[in-house]
Amino acid sequence: MRNSTRWLVYVGLGGALWGAVEISLGAYLHSLHIPLRGLILSTIGITIALVTRCLVQQRGTIIATAAIAAILKMFSVGGVILSPMAAILIQGLLAELVTFRILQPSRIRLVLAGATATAWTFFHPFVGQGIIAGQGVYVMYLRVIEKGVRLLHLPPEAVIVVIILMLLIRAGAGAVGGYVAGQIVAAVRARLGPAAPA
């Protein structure tokens, strides 16, 4: 995109879409205590960022869109919001890294970018809690898992299978988001016609 003012406007609008989802849908999901709400928000957000990236075909779009959405997250009603802001930025960075080398990402690349970004939702709580409460939290989690396994008479391998399954569910949701992003891009281009960017 030659005109960088145009790029900034698209980044702003993409960030507004992601931010609006985080503020409005995020508030509803949190108030209703829906499970995997972080994954739902991340999947929708990263889909929007990938759509914006495909439309403007410029490197740095996803991370810039994520930065705007993270700042808009400051308007959310609630307590400490640094953790979700950091998660949005890291997810944007991961998706950006996957799509950085090419201007027009393929469908497979979009799926991979979505999966990589949403897989972070699995690791984020552990990293965040480790930063806040220190290494003692990890020891505590390990002991809780050990006691739980002993209590339920499960083999230790079952824990690993559960962890891999949880990771796959998260990555799978992002992959679906990436696939849907590809479909949405084609439809948006068809609807916008000559006004479509790039």
Partner 1 sequence: MDTQAAVKSSLARQAPSQAGPERQSCQARLGVVGGLSLLGATLVVAATALPAVMLVYGLGLGLFTAVVAPGAWRRLRHWRVALSFCLLIAGGWLFLDGVSAPWLELYVIPPGLSMGLLMAFRALLVLLAISIVAATVSVAEVAAALERCYLKGFGFALGVALNALPRVYQTARQAWTALQLRGGLRRRKLHTLRLMAITIITNVLGAADNIVAAALARGFNIRKYATPGIKVSRLDKWGLGAGIMAMVVAAWLHR
Q: List binders of partner 1 among 17-56 (CB under 8 A).
A: 17, 19-20, 23-24, 27, 47-48, 51-52, 55
Do 30 and 82 form a contact (C-beta atoms < 8 A)?
no
Nearest residue (CB) to partner 1, 80 versus 152: 80
Which one among 147, 154, 160, 165 touches partner 1, defined by CB under 8 A? 147
Report, in Å, the least distance between residue 178 CB and partner 1: 14
Do 14 and 61 form a contact (C-beta atoms < 8 A)?
yes
How far CA 113 is from CA of 37, 96, 98, 149, 178, in Å, comes to 20, 8, 5, 34, 7
Report, in Å, the least distance between residue 38 CB and partner 1: 15
Q: Cα separation of 114 and 51, whole Å?
A: 11
Residue 123 φ/ψ, nearest 5 degrees: -85, -25
Q: List binders of partner 1 among 54-113 (CB under 8 A).
A: 55, 64, 67-68, 71-72, 74-77, 79-82
Do 65 and 45 form a contact (C-beta atoms < 8 A)?
no
Nearest residue (CB) to partner 1, 30 versus 168: 30
What's 75's DSSP letter?
G
Judged by the rule CB under 8 A, the positions of this chain that interact with partner 1 are 3-6, 8-17, 19-20, 23-24, 27, 47-48, 51-52, 55, 64, 67-68, 71-72, 74-77, 79-82, 131-134, 136-137, 139-140, 143-144, 147, 180, 183-184, 187-188, 191-192, 195, 197
